[in-house]
Each structure stands twice: as structure tokens, then as C-alpha cells.
Amino acid sequence: MAEVSVAILLPDYGGIGYHAQGTVAGARERGVVVSGVEVASSTSFLNLVRTAWRVRELLKIRNVLFVEIGRNEGTTFLTALLASWMSGKKMNVLSHDGAMLVRSPGAFVLARRRRLSKRVAYRLADPLLSRWLRILFQRRVERWYATTEGARDEMLAAHLAPCFVIVHGLEDPVSTSSPSEGRAIVVPGFLGPNKGTDVAVDAWLQTTLGDGYFLHVIGNTHEGTREWANRLHEQLINAGRPFQWTVDTASDDEFQHAIANAAMVLVPYRESNPTSGVVIRAIVEGRCIIGSAVPAILSFVTDGVSGVVIPSADVTRLANAMVTLAADSQLRDQYGARLVELQGHNRRWVDQFVSIAQHW
């Protein structure tokens, strides 16, 4: 059997792109021959075709095409479909949001982050294209991978098969303290309306927490959210409440340690994939999570048992939860310990990638 060599398509932003970059580097360290091709999230169709042609040429020396996608990576997936068709080689696809692929494939492939184009994609493109795209998926995808059993079952029911479950894992914990010892209320990850960063800021400003507690916003922006995030920063400065703003400057180690030593981790998403790297990182570190009722939270956190679940965009409920948990350090420790106990099967994604690559 020929040695496995892989071409990976990488989104140019967001958590999926970040993890895909880590996959390329980690797989190379483990001896897998890997080439990464970055796909611009906002690009013309002509540039998309050019990128697909580059991948087609790359597949003359790579024998596997792999793509990792979430709910905003339609451009990356469309590029992979074109490259697969041009080269004649089928894809291996890890989908973080299989439900959207099943329900609205036309909208998924064509929607961009701008609200108007998403509306057009859902109302016009999806009804016209979905049937044909489902047929194309069946013909151009060799293997599907999902991050939860529920997502796998939904994909199989839509004839996206074969489909296998890969548990989303991360590195070993680095925490040096318990949640009860922490004072940072951390809002980690990419900043944007869908991530609810504004909800966290508004909720923090509703509280009057003292005793050393402070809000720590740490993560990255992209071109479409940078100005929006700057306005949140100004809001915090003008309010005069204690906070730390580590945006577009944090190293991987700083990001990991911020979560690892948090008193609480806030995940006030308005929408999400079934899994989130931020949520998994907080679970691995045994942190106390307050999150909104979206798939990335509901897949792991049970309200009142292993964390606090609030309605999406509910500023008052989030503020009240912060105040309650700040006053009960023992409960923060209990929630964190319960998450570690329930999710003790963690395994790093790059190790799983190398394992499945050996069977391609």
C-alpha cells in the first residue's frame, strides 16, 4: 500500500482554521506527509476556482484530500468539492455542523458571513441547489466524520455515509489552581456577535462584583468584527469596571493558561457547532462554565449539575449567574470537577487525525 500523503484545505479564520493549522503542524511532527492550502473566506468565485485548481495540481503528489468545516466554512467546502471534481479524488470531511449540511446544503455552501448574502442563500439558493448538492456529496465524499453521535445519526439518515464519530480532544491540562482560587471571569475565543462577546460585556457591567474579580476578554478578531470589537473595548474603558483585554495579541500559551486559571469561563454564544474548542479546553482544565443553550454547551454541560446554562443573549441571567458563582467558590469547584469526570475520555485531535490517516 502506498504511503499516505494528505492535502488539507484550511479556512483562513476562526476556530476551525486554527485547529486545522495545528493539525498540519502536528501531523508533520508525527511523520505524516501533509500540505495545507488556505482558503480565503471572502473571495470571488474566480479566485475560488483558482484555489481549487492549485489543490488539483497538489493532488498529483498527494493521495488524500481532507477538509475540516464548521457552519461558516462553506467557501472552503465548495473549493474542496471543485478540487475533488477536477482531480477525480474523493474527499474525507470532518463536519462540526453536520445538521446544517443535512438541512440546508445549498445555503451552507453559498452563504457568506454578511447577513444579506446569507438571506439570499437560504431563501433562493438552498431550495434550488440542495437536491443536487446532496447527490454531489454522495459522489464526491469518501468518508464523513462528525464530532457527536447525534450529528452522525442525522448525517447517516440523510445518506451522508459512511460517517464516523471523532471525539473533539485537546492537549493535557495545564491548570495550576482550582476555580475557587481564580478571580478572572474569562471570555475566550474569536470575538463576534455570534459568539455573544457583547452579551458578556453587558452582563459584566450589570454586576458590581468586587473582591478582585475582573472580566478577561481574550482571543482574536477578523476583518469583519474588528471595528465591532473595538467598540466593546471602548465601552469597557468608559465604564471604569476592572477588566483585561487581550485581543489579537495572545499567544497559544497565554490563551490556554487564561482558561486554565479562570474562576469562570463564559460561553454566551448565540449559535454554535455541536462542539467548541473553547468549551473542550475549559472542560479539560476543570473550569466552571456558564454558557448559553446552544449545541456546543448542551452537548456537555447540564444546568445545575456540571455548570450553568442560560437562554441565549440573556444579559440579566448571565449577570446573575456570575454573581451567584462568585459568592460560592465551592460550587465552582464542584461544577469543574464534574465536567472532568464526565468527559475523561479526552484525546488530542491531532493524534486522532494521525490514527485515522493510517487507514486511508
pLDDT in tens, 88-105: 999 999 888 766 677 777
Question: For residues 146 and 165, is the Cβ–Cβ distance under 8 A?
Answer: yes
Convert the pLDDT of each residue in 18-28 to its tens digit.
778 888 988 89
Mean pLDDT in residue range 178-186: 97
What dihedral do alpha carbons 64, 70, 74, 75 form, nearest 10°?
-70
Convert the pLDDT of each residue in 108-141 to its tens digit.
766 554 454 556 556 666 777 778 888 888 899 9
DSSP string covering 255-318, please?
Answer: HHHHHHT-SEEEE--SS--S--HHHHHHHHTT--EEEESSHHHHTT--BTTTBEEE-TT-HHHH
In the structure, what pLDDT confidence band is assigned to residue 240 with cuts at 50, 70 and 90?
Answer: very high
In the structure, what pLDDT confidence band is assigned to residue 223 with cuts at 50, 70 and 90?
Answer: confident
Q: Is the pLDDT of residue 36 over 60?
A: yes
181 versus 174: the higher-pLDDT residue is 181
Predicted pLDDT of residue 58: 94
Question: For residues 292 and 303, is the Cβ–Cβ distance under 8 A?
Answer: no
The HSE-up count of residue 201 (CA atoms within 13 Å, CB side) is 24
The HSE-up count of residue 327 (CA atoms within 13 Å, CB side) is 9
Question: For residues 219 and 188, is the Cβ–Cβ distance under 8 A?
Answer: yes
Predicted pLDDT of residue 319: 98
> Domain 5-167+347-357 has what CATH class?
alpha beta
Predicted pLDDT of residue 122: 61
Q: For the purposes of burial, counting CB atoms within 10 Å of the CB of 2, is it exposed (0-12), middle (13-18) or buried (19 or more)?
A: exposed
Domain spans of the chain, in order of start:
5-167+347-357, 179-342
278 versus 309: the higher-pLDDT residue is 309
Q: How far apart are CA 282 and CA 339, in angstroms?
A: 9
Angle at 217 between CA 212 and CA 220, to 5 degrees: 160
Predicted pLDDT of residue 274: 75
Mean pLDDT in residue range 134-161: 87
Convert the pLDDT of each residue in 247-269 to its tens digit.
999 988 899 999 999 999 999 99
Predicted pLDDT of residue 347: 59
Predicted pLDDT of residue 87: 94
Predicted pLDDT of residue 98: 67
Q: How far is CA 21 from CA 17, 143, 251, 344, in A?
A: 6, 21, 15, 25
The pairing of beta strand 5-11 with beta strand 33-39:
parallel
Predicted pLDDT of residue 343: 66
* Domains 5-167+347-357 and 179-342 fall in the same CATH topology: yes
Domain 179-342 bears CATH identifier 3.40.50.2000 = yes
Predicted pLDDT of residue 200: 98
Q: How far is CA 305 from CA 51, 98, 115, 286, 332, in A?
A: 47, 28, 37, 14, 11
Q: Is the pLDDT of residue 153 over 50?
A: yes
Mean pLDDT in residue range 191-196: 94
**Based on C-alpha coordinates, what's the Rg of the chain?**
21
Convert the pLDDT of each residue in 281-301 to its tens digit.
899 899 999 999 998 899 889
334 versus 114: the higher-pLDDT residue is 334
Question: What integer best gives the mean pLDDT of the chain?
Answer: 87
Mean pLDDT in residue range 329-340: 94
Q: Is the pLDDT of residue 327 over 90?
A: yes
Q: Is the pLDDT of residue 145 over 50?
A: yes
Give the percent of the chain with pLDDT over 90: 52
Taking each helix axis as running N to C, give the angle between helix 252-260 and helix 277-284, from 0 to 180 degrees, rounded to the nearest 10. 60
- pTM metric for this prediction: 0.74
Mean pLDDT in residue range 43-60: 90
Which cell is 90 given?
474523493
Least confident range from 90-99, 208-217, 231-240: namely 90-99
